[in-house]
C-alpha cells in the first residue's frame, strides 16, 4: 500500500524533469562507463588471447627447457604425441658490424618454424629462403630498430659470435612475439644450424629451448599435459599449451585490468560525493513538500520510499547510460586500440564486465544516497511553521547506518571477487576511505579556520567575503575539497610512486651500478678476461661469479609451491652460483659459511629476506633442478642480498663441490669510467666474440620505458577520477550560484564594485584549490612513501614537479569551475534580485 | 461520542534551538467542543501558531497534556500522529503549501490517497467543485493565483471530511477580496461538515466570526471571550 502510493508520488515528482540531477547522472554515468570500458577492453584482450592461443604460443603446446636441449628420449616422446615438432633456442648475444655492437635476443629456429602463423618480412619472402645459406653465408632477419642501430641494410653482413650472417630481410612480425614477454634486446632470427661455428650455445651458455608441438586435431590437451607432467617430472621443464598460450601476458592483462578497475572505483567514489551532494541539495529543496506530506498524514516510510524510488530510478538511468557508453566507446575505438596493442583482441559486448560496472555503480549510488535519503525521516511537519528552531537529528537512524555498512561490505566483497586480489582491493579501499576521511576532516578544519580568520580580515573586505563564503555551510567547502581532493590524491599518488620507482632504478646509478654485465664468459676465458680488466686503470671494480640456472622444485622433500606458495623465487628458473669462501661485503644474518675444501653433502646459502618470506629455516632441505639433474642441499646460512645496487645478486649459492661437473659460464659486472666503456667493450668483444655485454644503462632504460607505460595507463584511470571530480566541482559551484547572486546583489547595494566581487571569488577559489591540492599532495606523498617503503623496498623522496603540478591543478580546477559561474553574480541587478528574495 | 474535541491541561512547549532553550507556551488549559469555532489571536510571537501546532500534533507538548478526540497526543509516535491527522484533521497554511509537482486535483487527492481511499479522485473532484475550481483541476500551483491556491488548499483540508480544521492565518498572504472569499469558504465548509475550527489570525474582525476567542500573550492564555457577534 505504502509502496504503491510512494511510487505514485515519486512519478509525480519526476515529472519535473532531470533539473538538478545532471551532475548526479554525469557522475554515475562517467564512473560506470570508465569501469565498463576498462572491463570490456580487458575481456576483449582475454578473448583474443584465448582464441589465438595457438598462434601466440607458436603451436598447440610448448615445452620449455632451461639451459639445455632435449635429450633423445625426451625428443622421442614429443614426436610420438605430435604431428610435428619445432625446436627453438632463445638467448641473448651481441650483433657486431665492424666496431658497432648491439645487444640482440636471438631466436635460433629449425625449418619447421613457425608451426602456427606466418612471419612478416620486408621484402616479402618465405622464412626458409630468408634464413637459408647463400654464397656460403647463413641468412638472418632482424627487427628494424636493431638494423638502424647497427647501420645495416638488407644484404649487408654482420656477426653473431664468430659466425658471419647475411641480413636478408627486416622482421616486421614475429608470430609468437607476444608470448616471449619482456626482452632486453631487439629480435634476430637465424637457423640453429647456422650457429654451428659461432661458438655461441656452448655448454654453460645461458639459453633456453622451446619445443613447439603441433598436436593431432583430436588430441586432448589435458591428457597430453598430464602425460608431459609425468614424463618430465622434476626435470625443470615447463609446459604451456594453447588453452593459455601467453600465460605471462594474460596474467599481466588480468592484473593491470584489475588494478585499473580499482582506480576506476576511486573515480566512482568521487562521483559518489557528487551524487550525494546532488541528492542532498535536491532533498533540501523538498523540505517543505516533505513537511506538507507529513502534515497531510504521510508516514515516514512513505516519505522515504517516495524519494528512494525517485533516486533509485535516476541511479538506474545513470548506470544504464554508463554501461551503454562503456560498451560503445571501446567498440568505436576498437580499430585504434587493436592497432596499438601488441596482442590480439576480439572486441564485442561482454556481459561480465558490464555487470561488474553496473553492480559497482548501483552499490555506490546506494551507499552515497542512503545517508541523505534517510535524513528525510527527520523532517517533521512542524518545519512548515518554523525553520529557525528546527533541530533534526544529524545522523540517520541506526538501521540505515547498518544498511550502508552492509552495502559497503558487499561492494568490497564484489571488488575483491572481481579483481581476484583482496590485498590490492583492501589497500585501494583503505586508501580511498583514508583520503576521504582526511579530506572531510580538512574541510571541517578549513571551515573553522575561515570562521576564525574572518575577524583577522577586518579592513580586507574581499578576503573577509571569501572567508565568510568558505565558512558558510551552503557554499559547500566540503564537497569542493572532497571531490577535487580525491581525484588529485590519486594523481598525486601515481606521480610520487612512478617518480620514486624511476629514481630507484635510474637515479642512483652512477654511484652504485656497474657499467656492464658480461654473460656467457666460458671457464677458459675467465682468467684472460679478468687480467684484461684488472690491468685497466679506468676499471674501478670487477665482480665475477660462476652462473648456472636452476628451478627450485622441492623444499623438505615436498613440492616447493606447497611449502612457499606462489613466491616469485619459485616462478621459473633462478641464477645459482657457487663459492668456496664467503664473498667480500657479504653479511650473514643466520648460520655459518661452509669450511674451505668442504666435500660433504651439498650446502646452500640463501637470500635472507626471501627465506623469511618463504618461511625457510636453517636445516631445511631444498631440491634444485639444474640442467635436468636434481641436487638436494641443506640450507646452511642466510645472507643479505641487495638487488637495488644492480650488482650480482644471487638468491642461491652452493658449495663448489655440489655443482662440480655441471657445465657453466661466468657472469661478471664491470664498474668503469664512462669514457672508457666503449674501448673496453670493443676490446673484450673482439677477443671473446661469444661473450654478451649488457649495458646497464640501456637495460634500465628499457625497464623504465615499460614502467612508463604502466604509469601512463594508471594516469588515464586517474584522469577519469579527476574529470568526475571536476564535474562534482561544477555541480557544487552551480548549486552555490543562487546564493552568490544574492550575496553579490547585497554587496553591490552596499557599494561593492564588480572588481572587488571578482577579487573575492578569486581569493575563495585560490584558497579552496590550494587546500585541496595540499591535502591531495599529503595523501599522495603518504601513499608514495607507503608503497616505496613496504612494497618496492626503496628509499622515498618527494617528486617536486609532480607535487607542484597537483597544487597548480587544484587551484586551476577550482578557479575554472568558479569562473564558469561568475557571470551570474557579476551581472546580477540588485533591484531584481532583492525584490524576488522578499 | 463525547462532545469534547480538545482538552489541554497545563500544556507547555519549549524548544531547543541554536541559541539555547526557548519557552514558547506555558500552562495552557483549554477545552474545545464539537462543532465549535475558536479564534486564536495575539501579537506576533505570542504563541498562536505554536498552540495550533500542539493541537495539530505537529509539536509534542513538553509539559501537561493535549488530548484530541479522546487521544492523548503526547505519547503518540510521529507516524501515529500522521495517521491521526489524515483521518481526523485538515490543515490550512498561510503560505498554502501546495505540492508544486502535483496538479490541483492531485494535491486535493493526496490526503485521501494516504488514507487509502479508493475514491480519492472522485472525492477530490467534488471538493474542487465546491471551492469553484473544477476547471483548474489539471493546473499546477505555479499556474494559479494566490487566492486560487488557497482555495485548493482549503479543498485539500476538507476532502477527508475531518473532525477538526486547523487554519494558520489563511488570509495572511491574500488581498482583501480574496481573503474574504476564503473565509466564507472556510466557514461554509465548517458548517457543511460540522467540523471544529481552530483559526489563528491577527485580525480581530475575523476572530469575531468565531464562536469563541482565545487571546494569547507571551505564551499564555490571557483571556477567553465569546465572539462579538
Annotate A28-97 with DSSP letters as a single string. HHHHHHHHHHHHHHHHHHHHHHHHTHHHHHTSSEEEEEESSPPPHHHHHHHHHH-SEEEEEEEEEEEEEE
CA distances for A45 relative to A355, A559, A664, angstroms: 18, 33, 40
Which of B22, B79, B97 is facing A292, going by the closest CB pair? B97
CB atoms within 10 A of CB A117: 18
How far is the alpha carbon of B229 from chain A, nearest alpha carbon, in Å?
A: 30
- Closest approach of A406 to chain B, Cα-based (Å): 27
> Strand A61-66 vs strand A238-241: parallel, antiparallel, or unpaired?
antiparallel
Inter-chain CB proximity B82 and A381 less than 8 Å = yes
Report pLDDT digits (tens) over A323-351: 999 999 988 988 888 777 777 788 889 99
Decide if pLDDT at B131 tops 60. Answer: yes
Nearest CA in chain B to A290: B99
B56 interaction partners in chain A (CB closer than 8 Å): 295, 381
Q: Which residues in A lie closer than 8 A to residue B106 (C-beta atoms)?
A: 12
Q: Which residue of B has its CA nearest to A2?
A: B114
Name which of B97, B101, B111 is nearest A288 (Cβ-Cβ). B97
User: In which band, very low, low, confident or very high, does the pLDDT at A234 lie, cut at 50, 70 and 90?
Assistant: low
More confident residue, A571 or B182: B182
C-alpha to C-alpha distance for A308 and A366, rounded to whole angstroms = 9
All residues of chain A having their beta carbon less than 8 Å from the beta carbon of residue B85 are 295-297, 381
Q: Where are the beta strands (DSSP E) in A98-162?
A: 100-109, 120-122, 139-143, 157-160
> Are B114 and A296 within 8 A, CB to CB?
yes
Q: What pLDDT, in 10s, does the model give residues A492-534?
A: 887 888 787 777 666 555 455 677 888 888 888 888 999 888 8
A526 Cβ partners below 8 Å, 6+ apart?
A544, A666, A668
Contacts of B82 in chain A (CB under 8 A): 294, 297-300, 381
Per residue in A298-324, is it b (16+ CB within 10 Å) or e — as a string? bbbebbbbbbbbbbbebbebbbebbbe
**Sequence-separated (6 or more) residues with CB below 8 Å from residue B191:** none
Residue A756: pLDDT above 70?
A: yes
Residue A632 CA to residue A602 CA, distance in Å, equals 7
Contact call for A293 and B58, based on CB within 8 A: no
Residue B10 lies in a domain: no
d(CA A547, CA A654): 11
Q: Which residues contact B32 (CB under 8 A, 6 or more apart)?
A: B4, B5, B6, B38, B196, B198
- C-alpha gyration radius of chain A: 33
The answer to which of A47-61, A711-725, A814-828 has the lowest mean pLDDT is: A711-725
Q: Range with the lowest mean pLDDT among A109-123, A257-271, A355-369, B94-108?
A: A257-271
Q: Which stretch of DSSP H or E encloses residue A366?
A: helix A351-374
Residue in B closest to A390 by C-alpha: B17
Q: Is the pLDDT of residue A319 over 90?
A: yes
Q: What's the mean pLDDT in A174-201?
A: 81
Q: Is residue B4 part of a domain?
A: no
pLDDT score at A670: 85
The residues on A that touch B, with CB distances below 8 Å, are 1, 5, 8, 12-13, 15-16, 288-289, 291-302, 380-382, 384-386, 388-389, 391
Location of C-alpha cell 661469444? A690
For A253-272, write each residue's pLDDT tens digit: 777 777 777 778 878 888 88
Residues of B in contact with A302 (CB under 8 A): 114
Q: Which residues of B touch A380 (CB under 8 A)?
A: 58, 78
Lowest mean pLDDT among A211-215, A456-460, A689-693: A456-460
Q: Which residue of A has its CA nearest to B55?
A: A382
DSSP-derived pairing of the beta strands B37-41 and B20-33: unpaired
Predicted pLDDT of residue A554: 87
Range of the domain at B166: 36-55+77-226
Report yes or no on B96 lying in a domain: yes
Average pLDDT of the residues of chain B: 89
What ipTM does the predicted assembly reach?
Answer: 0.84
Instruction: Write out pLDDT tens, residues A764-820.
Output: 888 888 888 888 888 888 888 887 777 666 778 888 888 888 888 888 888 888 788
| Angstrom distance (rounded) from CA B210 to CA B202 | 13
Q: Are B185 and B129 in contact (CB under 8 A)?
A: no
Q: Which residue out of A11, A15, A296 would a mutagenesis test of the B interface target, given it has the greatest number of B Cβ atoms within 10 Å?
A: A296
pLDDT tens digits for range B195-220: 999 999 988 888 899 999 999 999 99
- Closest-CA residue of chain B to A13: B101
User: Sorting pLDDT into bands at 50, 70 and 90, what band is A204?
Assistant: low
| Partner-chain residue, chosen from B85, B95, B168, that has the shortest CB–CB distance to A297 | B85
Instruction: Extract the C-alpha cell encoding B90.
Output: 485538515
Q: What confidence tens digit (pLDDT) does each residue in A558-589 have?
A: 888 788 777 888 877 788 899 888 887 778 89
Closest B-chain CA to A383: B58
B64: pLDDT strictly greater than 80? yes
Helices A22-51 & A351-374, crossing angle to 10 degrees? 160
Cross-chain Cβ contact B79/A299 below 8 Å: yes
Q: Can you tell me the distance from the alpha carbon of A786 to that of A173, in angstroms, rounded to the nearest whole number?
A: 42
In angstroms, what separates the C-alpha of B22 from chain A's closest C-alpha? 9
Q: Give B-chain residues touching A13 at CB under 8 angstroms.
A: 101
Q: Where does the pLDDT of residue A165 fall: very low under 50, low under 70, confident under 90, or very high at 90 and above? A: very high
Residue A549: phi and psi, rounded to 5, are -130, 140
Q: How many CB atoms lie within 10 A of CB A751?
A: 7
User: B23 lies in a domain?
Assistant: no
A288 contact residues in B (CB cutoff 8 A): 97
Mean pLDDT of A137-156: 90
pLDDT at B107 over 80: yes
Q: How far apart are CA B111 and CA B168, in angstroms?
A: 18
pLDDT tens column, A62-87: 888 877 888 888 889 999 988 999 99
> Above 80 in pLDDT, residue A833?
no
Q: Which residues of B touch A384 (CB under 8 A)?
A: 58, 93, 95, 97
Interchain CB distance below 8 Å, A13 and B106: no
pLDDT given for residue A389 in this prediction: 42
CB contact under 8 A, B79 and A12: no
Q: What is the pLDDT of residue A837?
A: 47
**B96 contacts on A by Cβ (under 8 Å):** none
Residues of B with CB under 8 A from a CB of A: 15-18, 22, 49-50, 53, 56, 58-59, 78-79, 82-87, 91, 93, 95, 97-102, 106, 110-111, 113-116, 156, 168
The label of the residue with cell 505540492 reads: B99
Q: Which residue has the higher pLDDT, A233 or B227?
A: A233
Nearest to A389 among B17, B56, B113 (CB): B17
Separation CA A169–CA A722 (nearest Å)? 47
Measured between beta carbons, which residues in chain A are less than 8 angstroms from residue B168? Answer: 385
Chain A residues inside the 8 Å CB shell of B58? 295, 380-382, 384-385
pLDDT for residue A835 is more than 60:
no
Provide the CATH number for the domain around residue B139.
3.40.50.300
Nearest by CB to B114, which of A5, A15, A382? Answer: A5
What are the backbone dihedrals phi and psi of residue A514, each rounded to the nearest 5 degrees, phi first? -75, 170
Nearest residue in B to A16, CA atom = B101
Q: Is residue B20 in a domain?
A: no
Q: Looking at A281-422, which runs of residues are DSSP E strands?
A: none
The CA angle A537-A540-A545, to the nearest 5 degrees, is: 120
Q: CA of A53 to nearest chain B CA: how many angstroms apart?
A: 60
Question: What is the length of chain B?
Answer: 229
pLDDT at B228 over 70: no
CB contact under 8 A, B17 and A288: no
pLDDT in tens, A456-479: 777 777 788 888 778 765 556 777
Q: Do B16 and A391 touch (CB under 8 A)?
A: yes
Chain B hits for A293, CB-CB cut-off 8 Å, are 99, 110, 114
- Specify if B24 maps to a domain: no
| Higher pLDDT, residue A213 or A384 | A213
Res. A388 pLDDT band, cuts 50 70 90: very low
Contacts of B219 in chain A (CB under 8 A): none
What is the torsion angle, in degrees rounded to the nearest 10, for the CA atoms of residue A494, residue A495, residue A501 and residue A505? 150
Confidence of residue A648 (pLDDT cuts 50, 70, 90): low
Q: Which of A297, A301, A381 sits opposite B115 (nearest CB)?
A: A297
- Identify all chain B residues contacting A297, using CB atoms and an 8 Å cutoff: 82-87, 111, 114-115
Residue A751 pLDDT > 60, yes or no? yes
Q: Which of A582, A558, A578, A579 is nearest to A570 (CA)?
A: A558
- Determine if residue B132 is left, alpha or beta; phi over 0 gives left, psi from -120 to 50 gives alpha, anything else beta: left
Q: What would the grid cell of residue A627 be?
A: 640442467
Cell 632451461 found at: A66
Q: With 50 as the cut, is the pLDDT of residue A421 above it?
A: yes
Residue A632 burial (CB < 10 Å; 0-12/13-18/19+)? middle
pTM of the complete model: 0.73
Q: For chain A, what is the mean pLDDT?
A: 83
Q: B62: pLDDT confidence band, cut at 50, 70 and 90?
A: very high
Other Cβ atoms less than 10 A from the Cβ of A2: the count is 16
Per-residue pLDDT tens over the stretch B70-97: 999 999 988 888 889 988 999 998 888 8
With 0-12 CB in 10 A as exposed, 13-18 as middle and 19+ as buried, what is A409?
exposed
Nearest-CA distance B110 → chain A (Å): 8
Residue of B nearest to A382 (CA): B58
For A235-293, give the secondary structure using H, E and C: CCCEEEEHHHCCHHHHHHHHHHHHHHHHHHHHHHHHHHHHHHHHHHHHHHCCHHHHHHH
- Test B79 with A301 for CB contact under 8 angstroms: yes
The dihedral through the CA atoms of A198, A203, A208, A211 has a sign that is: positive
Q: How confident is the model at residue A391 (pLDDT cuts 50, 70, 90)?
A: very low
Is B101–A296 a contact, with Cβ atoms under 8 angstroms apart? no
Coil/strand/helix, residue A162:
coil
- Smallest Cα distance from A838 to chain B, Å: 13
* B151, three cell numbers: 482555495
Res B105 pLDDT > 90: yes
Write the DSSP symbol of residue A124: -
**In chain A, whose CA is at the least distance from the CA of B97?**
A292
Q: How far is Cα B29 from Cα B32, in angstroms, rounded to an integer?
A: 10
What domain count does chain B have? Answer: 1
Residue A152 pLDDT greater than 60, yes or no: yes
Amino acid at each position: 500500500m505504502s509502496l504503491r502510493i510512494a511510487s505514485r508520488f515519486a512519478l509525480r515528482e519526476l515529472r519535473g524533469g532531470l533539473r538538478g540531477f545532471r551532475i548526479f547522472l554525469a557522475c554515475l554515468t562517467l564512473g560506470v562507463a570508465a569501469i565498463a570500458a576498462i572491463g570490456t577492453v580487458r575481456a576483449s584482450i582475454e578473448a583474443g588471447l584465448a582464441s589465438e592461443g595457438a598462434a601466440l604460443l607458436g603451436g598447440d603446446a610448448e615445452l620449455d627447457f632451461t639451459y639445455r636441449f632435449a635429450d633423445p628420449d625426451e625428443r622421442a616422446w614429443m614426436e610420438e604425441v605430435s604431428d610435428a615438432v619445432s625446436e627453438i633456442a632463445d638467448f641473448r648475444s651481441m650483433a657486431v658490424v665492424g666496431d658497432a655492437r648491439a645487444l640482440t635476443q636471438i631466436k635460433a629456429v629449425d625449418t619447421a618454424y613457425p608451426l602456427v602463423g606466418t612471419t612478416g618480412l620486408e621484402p616479402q619472402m618465405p622464412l626458409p629462403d630468408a634464413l637459408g645459406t647463400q654464397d656460403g653465408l647463413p641468412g638472418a632477419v632482424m627487427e628494424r630498430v636493431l638494423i638502424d642501430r647497427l647501420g645495416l641494410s638488407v644484404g649487408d653482413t654482420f656477426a653473431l659470435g664468430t659466425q658471419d650472417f647475411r641480413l636478408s630481410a627486416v622482421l616486421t612480425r614475429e608470430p609468437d612475439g607476444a608470448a616471449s614477454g619482456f626482452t632486453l634486446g631487439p629480435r634476430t632470427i637465424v637457423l640453429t644450424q647456422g650457429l654451428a661455428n659461432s661458438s655461441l650455445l656452448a655448454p654453460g651458455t645461458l639459453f633456453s629451448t622451446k619445443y613447439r608441438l603441433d598436436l593431432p586435431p583430436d588430441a586432448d590437451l589435458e591428457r597430453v599435459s598430464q602425460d608431459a607432467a609425468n614424463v618430465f617430472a622434476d626435470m625443470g621443464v615447463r609446459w604451456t599449451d594453447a588453452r593459455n598460450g601467453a600465460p605471462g601476458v594474460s596474467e599481466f592483462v588480468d592484473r593491470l585490468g584489475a588494478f585499473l578497475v580499482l582506480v576506476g572505483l576511486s573515480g566512482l567514489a568521487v562521483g559518489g560525493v557528487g551524487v550525494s551532494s546532488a541528492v542532498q541539495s535536491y532533498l533540501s529543496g523538498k523540505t517543505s513538500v516533505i513537511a506538507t506530506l507529513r502534515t497531510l498524514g504521510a508516514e515516514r516510510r512513505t516519505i522515504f520510499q517516495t524519494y528512494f524510488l525517485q533516486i533509485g530510478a535516476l541511479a538506474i538511468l545513470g548506470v544504464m547510460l554508463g554501461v551503454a557508453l562503456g560498451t560503445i566507446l571501446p567498440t568505436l575505438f576498437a580499430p585504434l586500440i587493436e592497432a596499438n596493442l601488441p596482442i590480439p583482441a576480439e572486441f564485442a559486448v561482454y556481459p561480465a564486465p558490464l555487470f561488474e560496472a553496473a553492480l559497482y555503480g548501483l552499490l555506490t549510488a546506494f551507499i552515497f544516497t542512503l545517508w541523505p535519503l534517510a535524513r528525510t525521516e527527520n523532517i517533521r511537519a512542524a518545519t512548515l511553521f518554523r525553520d529557525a528552531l528546527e533541530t533534526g537529528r544529524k545522523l540517520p537512524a541506526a538501521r540505515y547506518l547498518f544498511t550502508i555498512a552492509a552495502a559497503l561490505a558487499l561492494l568490497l566483497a564484489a571488488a575483491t571477487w572481481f579483481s581476484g586480489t583482496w590485498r590490492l582491493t583492501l589497500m585501494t579501499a583503505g586508501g580511498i576511505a583514508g583520503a576521504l576521511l582526511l579530506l572531510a576532516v580538512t574541510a571541517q578544519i578549513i571551515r573553522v579556520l575561515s570562521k576564525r580568520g574572518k575577524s583577522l580580515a577586518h579592513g580586507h573586505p574581499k578576503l573577509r567575503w571569501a572567508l565568510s563564503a568558505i565558512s558558510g555551510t551552503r557554499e559547500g567547502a566540503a564537497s569542493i575539497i572532497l571531490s577535487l581532493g580525491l581525484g588529485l590524491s590519486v594523481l598525486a599518488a601515481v606521480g610520487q610512486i612512478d617518480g620514486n620507482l624511476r629514481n630507484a632504478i635510474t637515479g642512483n646509478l652512477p654511484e652504485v651500478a656497474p657499467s656492464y654485465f658480461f654473460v656467457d664468459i666460458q671457464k677458459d676465458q675467465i682468467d684472460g678476461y679478468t687480467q684484461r680488466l684488472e690491468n685497466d686503470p679506468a676499471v674501478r671494480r670487477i665482480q665475477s661469479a660462476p652462473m648456472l640456472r636452476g628451478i627450485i622444485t622441492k623444499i623438505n622433500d615436498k613440492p616447493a609451491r606447497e611449502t612457499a606458495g606462489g613466491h616469485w623465487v619459485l616462478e621459473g628458473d633462478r641464477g645459482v652460483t657457487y663459492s668456496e669462501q664467503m664473498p667480500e661485503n657479504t653479511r650473514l644474518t643466520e648460520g655459518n659459511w661452509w669450511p674451505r675444501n668442504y666435500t660433504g653433502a651439498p650446502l646452500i646459502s640463501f637470500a635472507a629476506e626471501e627465506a623469511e618470506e618463504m618461511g625457510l629455516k636453517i636445516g631445511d632441505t631444498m631440491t634444485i633442478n639444474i640442467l635436468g639433474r636434481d641436487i638436494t642441499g641443506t640450507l646452511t646460512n642466510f645472507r643479505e642480498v641487495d638487488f637495488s645496487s644492480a650488482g650480482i645478486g644471487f638468491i642461491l649459492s652452493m658449495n663448489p663441490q655440489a655443482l662440480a661437473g655441471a657445465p657453466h659460464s661466468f657472469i661478471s659486472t664491470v664498474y668503469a669510467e664512462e669514457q672508457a666503456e666503449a674501448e673496453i667493450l670493443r676490446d673484450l668483444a673482439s677477443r671473446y666474440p661469444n661473450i654478451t655485454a649488457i649495458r646497464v644503462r640501456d637495460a634500465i632504460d628499457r625497464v623504465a620505458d615499460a614502467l612508463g607505460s604502466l604509469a601512463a595507463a594508471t594516469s588515464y584511470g586517474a584522469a577519469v577520477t579527476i574529470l568526475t571530480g571536476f564535474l562534482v566541482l561544477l555541480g557544487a559551484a552551480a548549486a552555490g550560484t543562487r546564493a552568490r547572486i544574492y550575496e553579490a546583489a547585497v554587496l553591490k547595494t552596499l557599494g561593492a564594485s564588480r572588481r572587488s566581487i571578482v577579487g573575492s571569488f578569486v581569493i575563495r577559489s585560490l584558497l579552496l584549490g590550494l587546500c585541496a591540492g595540499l591535502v591531495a599532495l599529503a595523501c599522495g606523498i603518504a601513499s608514495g612513501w607507503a608503497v616505496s617503503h613496504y612494497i618496492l623496498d626503496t628509499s622515498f623522496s618527494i617528486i617536486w614537479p609532480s607535487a607542484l603540478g597537483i597544487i597548480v591543478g587544484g587551484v586551476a580546477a577550482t578557479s575554472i569551475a568558479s569562473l564558469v559561474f561568475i557571470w551570474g553574480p557579476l551581472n546580477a541587478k540588485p533591484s531584481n534580485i532583492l525584490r524576488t528574495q522578499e | 461520542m463525547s462532545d469534547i474535541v480538545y482538552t489541554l491541561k497545563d500544556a507547555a512547549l519549549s524548544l531547543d534551538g541554536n541559541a539555547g532553550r526557548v519557552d514558547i507556551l506555558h500552562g495552557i488549559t483549554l477545552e474545545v467542543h464539537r462543532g465549535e469555532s475558536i479564534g486564536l489571536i495575539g501579537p506576533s510571537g505570542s504563541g498562536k501558531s505554536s498552540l495550533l501546532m500542539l493541537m495539530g500534533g505537529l509539536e509534542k507538548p513538553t509539559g501537561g497534556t493535549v488530548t484530541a478526540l479522546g487521544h492523548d497526543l503526547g505519547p503518540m509516535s510521529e507516524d501515529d500522529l500522521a495517521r491521526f491527522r489524515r483521518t481526523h484533521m485538515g490543515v490550512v497554511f498561510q503560505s498554502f503549501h501546495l505540492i508544486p509537482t502535483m496538479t490541483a486535483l492531485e494535491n486535493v487527492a493526496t490526503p485521501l490517497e494516504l488514507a487509502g481511499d479508493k475514491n480519492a479522485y472522485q472525492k477530490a473532484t467534488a471538493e474542487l467543485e465546491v471551492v469553484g475550481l473544477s476547471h483548474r483541476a489539471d493546473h499546477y500551483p505555479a499556474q494559479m493565483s494566490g487566492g486560487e491556491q488557497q482555495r485548493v488548499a482549503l479543498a485539500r483540508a476538507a476532502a477527508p471530511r475531518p473532525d477538526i480544521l486547523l487554519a494558520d492565518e489563511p488570509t495572511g498572504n491574500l488581498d482583501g477580496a480574496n481573503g474574504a472569499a476564503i473565509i466564507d469558504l472556510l466557514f461554509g465548509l465548517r458548517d457543511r461538515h460540522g467540523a471544529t475550527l481552530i483559526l489563528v489570525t491577527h485580525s480581530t474582525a475575523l476572530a469575531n466570526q468565531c464562536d469563541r476567542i482565545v487571546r494569547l500573550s507571551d505564551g499564555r492564555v490571557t483571556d477567553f471571550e465569546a465572539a462579538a457577534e
